[in-house]
C-alpha cells in the first residue's frame, strides 16, 4: 500500500514538474538578452534639489502645475550633467517628500558607476548621487526550484544564504554542455573538446549534469544549480551514441582530467563508470594529492560501484539509499531531477550521474566556505569528502556539512533530516 | 494737490524701475552652481486675475522666466497681454522676488514682493508684498498692495489654494480668494470685498506641457481697474509649455 502511495505521489509530482518544464521552456523563449538587474548595475541616481513650493504670480493657482518651469529647469541641469559625464538620461521622478527630483542615468559599460556617482556627488548642482543598487527578495525565483529535491532535502535556499560556490571551479568531464542554454550561459567559464573528430554543439548528459551543478539562480527561469555561482569548465570527453548512451574513452578522459588539474579545478565531476584504468588512476591520484575533490557516480551493476567511484579518495555517489551498490557510497538526490537539457529546455532526469552532480555542487559550496574561513587547501587535500556529514542511511546532511565547515548557518539542520548524523570517515 | 500727486507718481515709477533693475540683476546670477532657471510660454482663453478678466474676456499669451536658488531666494518675470478696454491693448510686465524657507521638509514659508508695469499706460503700475505658507498640496497667502493698480486705495488679498492628483497625469485644483479695500473709495455696489473662486482640472500632456480647464467666478464688490463689462463666471482653457 505504501509503495502504491509512493508511486502515486511520484507520478503526480512528475506530472506537475512536466507542466512546469513546458512553462519554463516557453518563458525562456521570451528571455531578453539583458536582464533588468544587469541594466540597473550600470545606472546611477542623480538627485537635484527641489525648491520649496512658493508663489509664482506668472502661473495659475494649481500648486505643482505652477512648478512646471522649475521641473524643466531641473531637467536641463540633469541633461547638462549627463553630457558632462558622458551618461545617458533614462527617466526622472519627482520626490517632493524628500525635496528632490531623481534622475536615472546610464553609465557607459567601460566606466564604473561607483566612481561616476562619486564625481557627481561633488558637483554643486547635485544634492547627492548614488549607484542603483539591486535588492532581491529572499528565496529563489526560478520556477522549477520548488520541485528540485535538493531544495527540500538539502534546504538549498538556506544554504545559498551562506554560500553559492562563488568562483569555485568545477570541471564537468562529460559530453558536450550546451553553452548557450539560458540557465547555463553565465556559469560556463570555458569549454574544451577532447573527443577527436566528433564535434557537436551540445549533448544531453553533459548539459543535464552541468545544470544540476551550476544553473543560474534568480534569473526567473528554470532551475537553481546546487552551486549557482560556481565556474564550470565544460570538458567534453564523452560523446552521445544512438539510443542516448554516452561513451567516453581513456584517452579523452585522461586529456580532460589533465586539463582540469592544470587549470586549477577545485572539484572534478565524473558522472561515469567503467573498468579500472591505470592512466586515469594516476591522474586521479595527482588530482586528489593537489586537494581537488573528485566525485564519481556509482554503477550499481559493477563490482564495488565501478571505476572511478571505487578509487580511493574519490567521493562515490549513489542515487538511492535502498540499493547501495558500494559500501562507501554517499546518497544524494538522483530521482526525477529537473535540470537543463539541450534546446534551451528543461526535463526530468534520474540516475546516479545526477546524484554525483549534486555532490559536486555541494562540495563547491563547502570549498567556498573553507576559503572564506581561510583554511588552507592542503589541509583538506587528502580527504575532501571528510566535510560531508551523513545520516545513518548514507544520505548527506547538507546543512550539517556546511555547519561543520562554516560554523552555524541560517538553515535548521534538524528540521530537514531528523535523527543523528555522523561524519564521513 | 495735483502737482504733489504727479511728483509722488514719478517717484514711485523711479523706485519701480530700480526694483526691476535689481530683479534683473538677480536673474543674471545664473552662474551660481545651485540655481535653476526656467522659462515658459502659455496661452489661455481669458486672462482672469483674482476672478476678474484683464483681457475683456479675450485670449492672451504669456511669456515668463523663473529663477530658484538653493538658498531659497526666488525671482521671476512675465510679459502678459492685457486689454482693460476693448481695442486698447497693453503689455503687462510683472516682476517678483522673494525668499522661501523650509519650515518642515514639505512646508515652505515665504515672503516677497511683486511689481507690475503696464506698457502704454503706466498709471496702472503697482506693487504688492506677500507672505504665506505652502506645500505640494495646498497654499495659504496674504498680499498687501498700497496702491492697487495705481489707484489711491490699499488692498489686502487672502487666498487658499489646493490641488490633488486624481490619477497619473490628471490633477484637480481649487482656489478661493477675497480682495478687500482698506479705506479710500468703496468698491463696486458699495462693497469693499470681492470674493473669487477657481476650480478645475489639470492634465500633463507631455513632460513639459500642461493643460488646464478651470471654471472661474467672482462676486460683486471690491475695486476694479475700469468699468467692468466681462462676464462674472466663465470657463478658462489654458496650456503651458515649459523649457
Residue A76: left (phi > 0), alpha (psi -120 to 50), or beta? alpha
**Pairing assessment for the beta strands B154-167 and A128-131 based on DSSP bridges:** unpaired
Q: Residue B8: pLDDT above 60?
A: no
A274: DSSP letter: B
Q: What is the mean pLDDT of chain B?
A: 81
User: How many Cα atoms are found within 13 Å in the side-chain-facing hemisphere of A148?
Assistant: 30
Chain-centre distance for alpha carbon A6: 30
Question: 3-state DSSP call for residue A108?
Answer: coil
Closest chain A residue to the Cα of B129, Cα to Cα: A55
In a 10 Å sphere around its CB, with 0-12 CB exposed, 13-18 middle and 19+ buried, how is residue A247 labelled?
Answer: middle
pLDDT of A47 reads: 86
Q: How far is CA B22 from CA B76, B126, B146, in A?
A: 12, 17, 21
Neighbours of B156 (CB within 10 A): 16
Among A273, A353, A360, A401, the one annotated catalytic: A353
For residues B191 and B220, is the Cβ–Cβ distance under 8 A? yes
B110 Cβ under 8 Å from any chain A Cβ: yes
Could you give the CA distance from residue A269 to residue A232 in angstroms, rounded to a whole number?
A: 10
User: How many Cα atoms are found within 13 Å in the side-chain-facing hemisphere of A221?
Assistant: 24
Could you give the CA distance from residue A134 to residue A365 in angstroms, rounded to a whole number?
A: 23
* CB contacts, 8 Å: B171 with chain A: 62-65
Distance from CA of B8 to the nearest CA of A (A): 26
End-to-end CA distance of chain A: 37
Selected residue with higher pLDDT from B30 and A366: A366
Could you give the CA distance from residue B46 to residue B236 in angstroms, rounded to a whole number?
A: 6
Q: Is B161 within 8 Å of A69 when comparing Cβ atoms?
A: no
pLDDT of A48 reads: 85
Q: How far is CA B148 from CA B22, B34, B114, B136, B223, in A?
A: 22, 35, 12, 29, 8
Q: Is A55 within 8 Å of B72 when comparing Cβ atoms?
A: no
Q: Is B173 within 8 Å of A70 when comparing Cβ atoms?
A: no
* CB contacts, 8 Å: B76 with chain A: 56-58
Selected residue with higher pLDDT from B183 and A80: A80
pLDDT of A295 reads: 96
Average pLDDT over residues A374-386: 54
* CB contacts, 8 Å: A63 with chain B: 134, 136-139, 161-163, 171, 173
Number of CB pairs < 8 Å for A and B? 147
Could you give the CA distance from residue A323 to residue A25 in angstroms, rounded to a whole number?
A: 34
For residues A328 and A311, is the Cβ–Cβ distance under 8 A? no
Chain A residues in contact with chain B using a Cβ-Cβ cutoff of 8 Å = 48-49, 51-65, 68-77, 96-99, 123-125
Q: Is A99 within 8 Å of B102 when comparing Cβ atoms?
A: yes
* CB contacts, 8 Å: A62 with chain B: 161, 163, 171, 173, 200, 202, 212
| Residues ≥6 apart with Cβ < 8 Å to B92 | B54, B78, B79, B80, B81, B82, B116, B117, B118, B119
- Summarised one tens digit per residue, pLDDT across range B26-82 is 444 434 456 788 888 999 999 899 998 888 888 999 999 988 887 889 999 999 988
pLDDT of A19 reads: 52
pLDDT of A423 reads: 39
Closest chain A residue to the Cα of B67, Cα to Cα: A70
The reply to whether A249 belongs to the active site is no
For residues A234 and A190, is the Cβ–Cβ distance under 8 A? yes
Closest chain A residue to the Cα of B141, Cα to Cα: A55
- Summarised one tens digit per residue, pLDDT across range A125-146 is 888 888 876 554 445 678 888 8
Q: What is the ipTM of this complex?
A: 0.77
Residue boundaries of the structural domains of chain B = 4-242
A245: DSSP letter: -
Could you give the CA distance from residue B18 to residue B8 in angstroms, rounded to a whole number?
A: 15
Could you give the CA distance from residue A70 to residue A60 in angstroms, rounded to a whole number?
A: 14
φ/ψ of B116, rounded to 5, equals: -125, 140
Of the ranges A152-156, A175-179, A417-421, B14-18, the best mean pLDDT one: A175-179
φ/ψ of B180, rounded to 5, equals: -135, 135
pLDDT of A305 reads: 84
A99: DSSP letter: T
pLDDT of A249 reads: 85
Q: Is A57 within 8 Å of B34 when comparing Cβ atoms?
A: no
Could you give the CA distance from residue A17 to residue A30 in angstroms, rounded to a whole number?
A: 20
Q: Is B108 within 8 Å of A53 when comparing Cβ atoms?
A: yes
Q: Is B68 within 8 Å of A70 when comparing Cβ atoms?
A: yes
* CB contacts, 8 Å: B66 with chain A: 56, 58, 69-70, 73
End-to-end CA distance of chain B: 49
Distance from CA of B3 to the nearest CA of A (A): 34
For B4-242, CATH number out of 3.50.50.60, 3.40.50.150, 3.30.70.260, 2.40.160.40 equals 2.40.160.40
For residues A183 and A212, is the Cβ–Cβ distance under 8 A? no
- Summarised one tens digit per residue, pLDDT across range B116-148 is 999 877 888 999 999 999 887 889 999 999 999
B173 strand-pairing partners? B163, B200
Q: Residue A34: pLDDT above 50?
A: no
Closest chain A residue to the Cα of B110, Cα to Cα: A54
Selected residue with higher pLDDT from B221 and A138: B221
pLDDT of A357 reads: 97
Q: What is the mean pLDDT of chain A?
A: 80
Nearest by CB to B40, from A49, A57, A69: name it: A69
Nearest by CB to B198, from A49, A61, A96: name it: A61
A396: DSSP letter: B
Q: Residue A174: pLDDT above 90?
A: yes
Average pLDDT over residues B230-235: 84
Selected residue with higher pLDDT from B24 and A376: A376
Selected residue with higher pLDDT from B18 and B93: B93
pLDDT of A139 reads: 53
- Read off the pTM: 0.52
pLDDT of B17 reads: 47
Q: Is B242 within 8 Å of A69 when comparing Cβ atoms?
A: yes
B150 Cβ under 8 Å from any chain A Cβ: no
B242 Cβ under 8 Å from any chain A Cβ: yes
Among the listed ranges A8-17, A21-30, A74-83, which one has the minimum average pLDDT value? A21-30
pLDDT of B18 reads: 42
Q: Is A63 within 8 Å of B161 when comparing Cβ atoms?
A: yes
B173-192 residues touching A, CB cutoff 8 A: 173, 175
Q: Is B200 within 8 Å of A62 when comparing Cβ atoms?
A: yes
- Summarised one tens digit per residue, pLDDT across range A250-309 is 888 988 999 999 899 999 999 998 888 888 898 899 999 999 999 999 988 887 888 999
- Summarised one tens digit per residue, pLDDT across range A61-74 is 444 444 666 777 78
Among A174, A299, A336, A387, the one annotated catalytic: A174
Average pLDDT over residues B146-163: 90
Nearest by CB to B66, from A52, A70, A98: name it: A70
A58-88 b/e (C-beta count within 10 Å ≥ 16 → b): bbbbbbbbbbbbbbbbbbebbeebbeebebe
DSSP H stretches of helix in A154-265? 156-160, 204-214, 250-262
Could you give the CA distance from residue A149 to residue B241 in angstroms, rounded to a whole number?
A: 61
**Pairing assessment for the beta strands B73-85 and B88-102 based on DSSP bridges:** antiparallel
φ/ψ of B122, rounded to 5, equals: -75, -5
pLDDT of A422 reads: 41
DSSP H stretches of helix in A91-187? 113-121, 149-153, 156-160
Residue B169's pLDDT band (cuts 50, 70, 90): confident
Q: Is B106 within 8 Å of A96 when comparing Cβ atoms?
A: yes
pLDDT of A302 reads: 81
Q: Residue A40: pLDDT above 70?
A: no
- Summarised one tens digit per residue, pLDDT across range A184-226 is 999 999 999 988 777 788 999 999 999 999 999 999 899 999 9
Of the ranges A211-215, A405-409, A420-424, B52-56, the best mean pLDDT one: A211-215
Q: Cis omega before residue B151 (within 30°)?
A: no
* CB contacts, 8 Å: B199 with chain A: none
The reply to whether A174 belongs to the active site is yes
Q: Residue A229: pLDDT above 80?
A: yes
Q: Residue B194: pLDDT above 50?
A: yes
B233 strand-pairing partners? B217
Could you give the CA distance from residue A95 to residue B152 in angstroms, rounded to a whole number?
A: 45
* CB contacts, 8 Å: A60 with chain B: 198, 212, 214, 238
Amino acid at each position: 500500500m505504501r509503495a502504491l502511495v509512493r508511486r502515486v505521489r511520484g507520478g503526480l509530482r512528475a506530472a506537475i514538474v512536466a507542466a512546469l518544464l513546458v512553462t519554463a521552456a516557453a518563458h525562456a523563449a521570451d528571455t531578453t538578452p539583458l536582464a533588468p538587474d544587469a541594466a540597473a548595475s550600470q545606472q546611477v541616481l542623480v538627485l537635484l534639489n527641489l525648491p520649496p513650493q512658493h508663489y509664482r504670480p506668472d502661473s495659475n493657482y494649481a500648486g505643482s502645475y505652477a512648478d512646471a518651469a522649475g521641473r524643466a529647469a531641473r531637467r536641463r541641469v540633469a541633461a547638462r550633467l549627463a553630457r558632462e559625464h558622458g551618461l545617458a538620461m533614462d527617466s526622472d521622478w519627482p520626490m517632493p517628500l524628500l525635496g528632490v527630483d531623481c534622475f536615472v542615468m546610464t553609465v557607459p559599460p567601460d566606466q564604473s558607476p561607483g566612481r561616476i556617482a562619486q564625481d557627481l556627488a561633488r558637483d554643486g548642482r547635485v544634492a547627492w548621487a548614488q549607484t542603483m543598487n539591486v535588492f532581491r527578495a529572499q528565496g529563489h525565483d526560478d520556477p522549477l526550484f520548488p520541485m528540485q529535491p535538493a531544495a527540500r532535502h538539502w534546504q538549498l535556499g538556506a544554504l545559498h544564504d551562506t554560500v553559492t560556490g562563488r568562483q569555485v571551479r568545477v570541471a564537468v568531464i562529460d559530453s558536450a554542455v550546451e553553452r548557450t542554454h539560458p540557465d547555463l550561459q553565465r556559469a560556463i567559464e570555458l569549454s574544451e573538446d577532447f573527443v577527436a573528430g566528433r564535434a557537436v554543439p551540445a549533448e544531453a548528459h553533459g548539459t543535464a549534469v552541468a545544470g544540476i551543478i551550476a544553473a543560474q539562480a534568480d534569473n526567473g527561469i528554470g532551475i537553481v544549480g546546487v552551486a549557482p555561482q560556481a565556474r564550470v569548465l565544460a570538458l567534453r570527453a564523452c560523446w552521445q551514441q544512438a539510443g542516448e548512451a554516452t561513451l567516453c574513452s581513456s584517452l579523452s578522459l585522461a586529456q580532460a582530467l589533465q586539463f582540469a588539474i592544470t587549470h586549477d579545478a577545485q572539484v572534478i565531476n565524473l558522472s561515469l563508470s567503467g573498468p579500472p584504468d591505470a592512466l586515469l588512476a594516476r591522474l586521479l591520484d595527482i588530482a586528489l594529492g593537489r586537494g581537488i575533490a573528485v566525485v564519481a557516480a556509482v554503477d550499481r551493476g559493477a563490482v564495488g560501484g565501478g571505476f572511478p567511484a571505487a578509487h580511493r579518495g574519490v567521493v562515490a555517489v549513489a542515487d538511492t539509499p535502498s540499493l547501495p551498490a558500494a559500501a562507501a557510497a554517499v546518497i544524494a538526490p538522483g530521482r526525477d531531477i529537473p535540470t537543463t537539457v539541450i534546446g534551451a529546455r528543461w526535463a526530468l532526469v534520474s540516475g546516479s550521474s545526477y546524484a554525483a552532480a549534486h555532490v559536486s555542487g555541494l562540495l563547491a559550496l563547502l570549498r567556498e566556505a573553507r576559503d572564506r574561513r581561510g583554511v588552507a587547501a592542503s589541509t583538506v587535500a587528502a580527504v575532501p569528502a571528510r566535510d560531508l556529514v551523513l545520516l545513518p542511511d548514507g544520505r548527506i546532511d547538507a546543512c550539517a556539512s556546511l555547519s561543520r565547515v562554516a560554523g552555524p548557518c541560517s538553515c535548521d539542520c534538524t528540521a530537514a533530516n531528523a535523527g543523528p548524523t555522523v561524519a564521513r570517515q | 494737490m495735483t502737482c504733489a500727486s504727479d511728483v509722488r507718481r514719478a517717484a514711485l515709477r523711479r523706485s519701480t524701475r530700480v526694483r526691476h533693475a535689481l530683479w534683473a540683476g538677480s536673474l543674471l546670477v545664473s552662474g551660481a552652481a545651485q540655481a535653476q532657471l526656467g522659462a515658459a510660454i502659455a496661452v489661455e482663453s481669458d486672462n482672469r486675475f483674482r476672478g476678474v478678466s484683464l483681457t475683456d474676456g479675450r485670449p492672451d499669451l504669456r511669456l515668463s522666466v523663473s529663477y530658484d536658488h538653493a538658498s531659497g531666494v526666488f525671482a521671476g518675470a512675465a510679459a502678459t497681454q492685457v486689454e482693460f478696454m476693448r481695442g486698447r491693448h497693453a503689455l503687462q510686465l510683472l516682476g517678483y522676488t522673494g525668499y522661501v524657507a523650509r519650515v518642515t521638509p514639505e512646508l515652505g514659508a515665504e515672503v516677497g514682493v511683486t511689481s507690475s508695469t503696464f506698457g502704454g499706460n503706466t498709471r496702472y503700475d503697482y506693487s504688492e508684498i506677500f507672505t504665506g505658507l505652502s506645500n505640494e498640496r495646498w497654499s495659504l497667502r496674504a498680499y498687501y498692495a498700497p496702491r492697487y493698480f495705481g489707484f489711491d486705495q490699499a488692498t489686502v488679498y487672502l487666498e487658499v489654494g489646493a490641488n490633488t492628483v486624481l490619477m497619473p497625469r490628471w490633477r484637480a485644483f481649487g482656489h478661493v480668494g477675497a480682495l478687500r479695500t482698506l479705506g479710500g473709495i468703496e468698491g463696486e455696489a458699495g462693497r469693499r470685498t470681492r470674493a473669487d473662486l477657481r476650480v478645475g482640472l489639470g492634465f500633463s500632456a507631455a513632460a513639459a506641457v500642461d493643460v488646464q480647464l478651470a471654471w472661474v467666478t467672482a462676486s460683486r464688490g471690491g475695486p476694479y481697474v475700469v468699468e467692468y463689462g466681462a462676464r462674472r463666471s466663465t470657463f478658462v482653457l489654458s496650456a503651458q509649455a515649459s523649457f
